Amino acid sequence: MKLRHVFAAALSTTVLSSGLVSAQTVFTVSSWLPPTHTLSTVQKNWCDLLEKESTGRMKCNILPKGVVAAPGTFDAVRDGLADISYTVDGYTPGRFINTQVAEFPFLGDNAVQTSVAYQRIYSKYFAPLGEHRGVKALAVFTHGPGIIFNSKKPVASAADAASLKFRIGGGNINELSKAMGWNTTLKAAPESFELLSTGVMDGTFFPDESIASFKLSMVKHATTFPGGLYNTSFVFMMNEGKYKALSPQDKAVVDKLSGEVAARMFGEGWDKVDAASRDGAQKAQGVSRIKADQAFVKAVMDKQDYLETKWAASAQVKGLKDPKAVLAEFRAEIAKVK
């Protein structure tokens, strides 16, 4: 009997020292968008990369549906209802100020450029200010350029837009819409189909991707702007306690896959589906596209100038030194990204 115990103990020691048995960290991962949406698929791809880079020490348990609705996701990750997810900063108005820099009009024509540049500016200026305190911010990113979509008529001017009702996603576009005198309502993206199909809203402000992703077959008109009418600031995040409990080795893996690596993954994913929606779903349903003319762009720019000054004052109160210079650096950084 004693001999068997000695043998069992020796075998256990051999197995442990050989690395055949090791602790595994499992992250609970939530998405408030369908599994087929680009944000859900990129999040899964990131998880697969995490498991590969950690040689299986870390893996993800992706839930079949979000633990909460989109606006509650930041608090859900902070409080441990999920370990990993993403959210739109503008879904909770007034909570995040510095991040609004990524939501301004005319920033860029693809998600990779704006996402990577935003991550660089975020790491340099915003992360030290701790606006996302309570979670481990893995990355920040944006979607593709924002477009005016509707089911009623071409929108060739600010006056045309003022005659319709639109769903918007919050952030700077919420303030810009008010300044333009447009009739807009802040609602999360997944509500768009019901709002448009029932006629509660005539249209929505979205990147190209969303027409296909949310099956908005009622959309017939699109108005594009150079660099987009608006953009959206997203944060990809991890529960802070879960991150802090990782070994130094595993923290290093998470850090390696965070920042620009993750931002570029989300940007590339978005650009791919933007193109697919534009060339596929929208063509199939006969969406008519027009470009905003100089007068329309100037009308937006005139209102946005005031909003950027207002933002700069609020950002300065939040601890950001020389916000206008940061914005100028952000725009310059976008032009550098390949």
Q: What is the pLDDT of residues 216-229, one digit of tens each?
A: 999 999 999 999 99
pLDDT of residue 183: 97
CB 99, CB 89: distance < 8 Å: yes
d(CA 117, CA 127): 14
**DSSP conformation class of 169:** -
pLDDT digits (tens, 9 = 90+) for 163-192: 999 999 888 999 999 999 999 999 999 999
23-95+106-143+232-273 maps to CATH 3.40.190.170: yes
- Per-state percent for the chain, helix, strand, coil, to nearest 5: 50, 15, 30
Give ranges for CATH 3.40.190.170 in the chain.
Answer: 23-95+106-143+232-273, 147-230+284-336
pLDDT of residue 93: 84
Question: 212: Cβ–Cβ under 8 A, 6 or more apart, which residues?
Answer: 273, 276, 277, 280, 281, 282
pLDDT at 2 over 80: no
Structure tokens of 319? Answer: 């601890």
User: Which secondary-structure segment (H or E) carries 65?
Assistant: none
Phi, psi of 280 (to 5 degrees): -110, -80
pLDDT at 11 over 90: no
pLDDT digits (tens, 9 = 90+) for 299-322: 999 999 999 999 999 999 999 999
pLDDT at 196 over 50: yes
Q: For the domain with range 147-230+284-336, which CATH number is right: 3.30.1330.10, 3.40.190.170, 3.40.605.10, 3.90.1170.50?
A: 3.40.190.170
